[in-house]
A and B are shown apart, each in its own frame.
Chain A
Amino acid sequence: MSMILAILCGAFGIIFWGVIFSLLYKGLDRKLVARMQDRYGPPVIQPFRDIEKLMLKQTIIPKNAIPWIFNGAAIFALASALALFVFIPFFYLGSLSGADCSVNPQLCTFSIFPGDLILVWYLMLMPSLAMVIGGFASGSPYATIGAQREMVLMASYEMPLAIASVAIAYVLKTFSLDAIFLTPVWGVSGVFGLIGFAILFLVMIFVIAPELSKVPYDAPEAETELAGGVLAEYSGRNLGFFYIADAVKAFALCSLIIAMFFPYGINFLVESPSLGLILDMLFFFLKVFLLMLFSLFFVRAAFARLRIEQASRLFLVHVLSISLLGLFLVVLDTIIHIDPMPILASLGVIL
């Protein structure tokens, strides 16, 4: 009984803090992009004010909308985005969990429930899907066009994502996120594998922006042509739900990619486990920040919107072929395994 209570408390706690940090990262995004454009920018806590305001506003349900689908989509998007937090391992919990990590490694990571990659990818898809359903249900031509674009974009970027996940699962022989977190792929692959995973990591960084429908792949939410696109008819509380879901998804996606490709901590630098945990947390937030900086903030400040067919072609042709090359190298590595250590040593790199 107390076990269930502990899990519930842990889940609610991690969701609460997850939402707070997601919104802070969103504020950081707005501030930094403003600074890059030589503007002063809103304060970092601006997303909290936006949410507070949206919750106070009237929630209009348009006459042409189907009310239960229209409202349900907003709640569904938020719920599935929040559910992501309990499955993603954030950082190494180490001996603080009181478990022997060599016997039961699951207890040493920060995911509350043992999830796997497939489940998390489906949950990641849900907010976009809810937006599509809500867009169609709102009975507005703008929202319908936005929903169609969102679907086209989803169909384009999912393939490279799936290839990267499959490559990791192929090497580690598991989809379990805890196992992937505890066994970084870089340690178990040879020369070809290292090159392949580096390519797949770059592909994943590239896929972050369309997954979140951010500039330059924000054709579904185009404010200038589509009046807000899928969200055109949403107001008040429902819009606030989508707002939170969007911020949460950005944070969760970046944490997931870090868990897949760069789960290393820095707790070996200090002796005490609690200090190590704090260091690990700070290092984790730094990693998320860097990933967002290069995949979202710089891109948003530098590029204009792509047309939907340009974005779709980019992912279905170029990014997909690059990720297939990565997968090919990873599979080749399991056939011709060349140990990278002697090569690195001959180059003078000491590990």
Chain B
Amino acid sequence: MQALKRAIWVFHLNTGGCNGCDIEILAALTPRYDLERFGIKLVGSPRHADVLLITGPVTRKMEERLKRVYAQTPDPKMVVVVGNCGSSKGVFHHHYNVVGPVDKFVPVDVYVPGCPPRPEAIIYGVAKAWIKLEKLKEEKK
């Protein structure tokens, strides 16, 4: 389990956001913030991922896809929601095509608020994602 803490592979999924948070996620990979020094790596397939980094409120079309991507990720997995929209629908609250925040459909472990959150906050959120594992360990005891 110690290894999981230090080699977190992240899959990034946009469920209908405005791309603001996605740009901040990319900023976290740049030389200034450099996620890779913690062993955090962005991967292209949910099958390789440990952490799902989800941005944006869930639109009607993305609901099914979100559930599928969550099911495709191998255990143990963590979900981190980046930005206000994913956490609470944000400015899209009364939208006709938004069906809910991310935690209505999949269990969420870490919320990173902000519109958009700073890259430091995103790095902190991803690094915090392993608290779920600690919780699981305590439940076993």
Contact = CB atoms under 8 A, between A and B. Distances in A.
B44 A223 contact: yes
A223 B4 CA distance: 22
Interface in A222-276: 222-224, 226-228, 231-236, 239
Q: Looking at chain B, what size class is its interface with the partner chain?
A: 20 to 34
A49 B39 contact: yes
A233 B74 CA distance: 11
Given A53-B3, A58-B74, A60-B72, A42 B47 contact: no
Contacts of B50: 53, 57
Contacts of A34: 34, 36-37
A62 B47 CA distance: 10
Contacts of B36: 30, 34, 39-42
A37 B31 contact: yes
Interface in A43-60: 43, 46, 49-50, 52-53, 56-60
Given A39-B31, A236-B74, A53 B7 contact: yes
A224 B7 contact: no
Given A40-B34, A235-B74, A60 B7 contact: no
A46 B43 CA distance: 16
A57 B7 CA distance: 12
Interface size of A as a range: 20 to 34
B74 A41 contact: no
A49 B7 contact: yes
B47 A234 contact: yes
Interface in B37-83: 37-39, 42-45, 47-48, 50, 72, 74-76
B40 to A, nearest CB: 9
B3 A232 contact: no
Interface in A66-95: none
Contacts of B42: 223
B91 interface: no
Given A223-B43, A223-B44, A57 B76 contact: yes
B27 to A, nearest CB: 13
Interface in B1-44: 1, 3-4, 6-7, 31, 34, 36-39, 42-44
Contacts of B39: 42-43, 46, 49-50
Nearest to A38: B31
Nearest to B30: A39
B72 A56 contact: no
A227 B44 contact: yes
Contacts of B6: 46, 49, 53
Contacts of B1: 56
A50 B4 CA distance: 8
A53 B75 CA distance: 11
Contact of B34 (A39, A52, A231): A39
A220 B54 CA distance: 26
Contacts of A52: 3, 7
Nearest to A50: B7
B7 A226 contact: no
A239 B37 contact: no
A45 to B, nearest CB: 9
17 contacts: A34-B34, A40-B37, A46-B39, A49-B3, A50-B39, A57-B50, A57-B74, A57-B75, A60-B74, A142-B45, A228-B43, A228-B47, A228-B48, A232-B44, A233-B45, A234-B47, A235-B48
Interface of B: 1, 3-4, 6-7, 31, 34, 36-39, 42-45, 47-48, 50, 72, 74-76
Given A40-B34, A223-B44, 5 more contacts: A52-B3, A56-B1, A222-B44, A227-B45, A234-B47
Interface of A: 30, 34, 37-43, 46, 49-50, 52-53, 56-60, 142, 222-224, 226-228, 231-236, 239
Closest 10 CB pairs of A and B: A223-B44, A52-B3, A58-B74, A228-B45, A235-B47, A49-B7, A58-B75, A40-B37, A39-B34, A53-B7
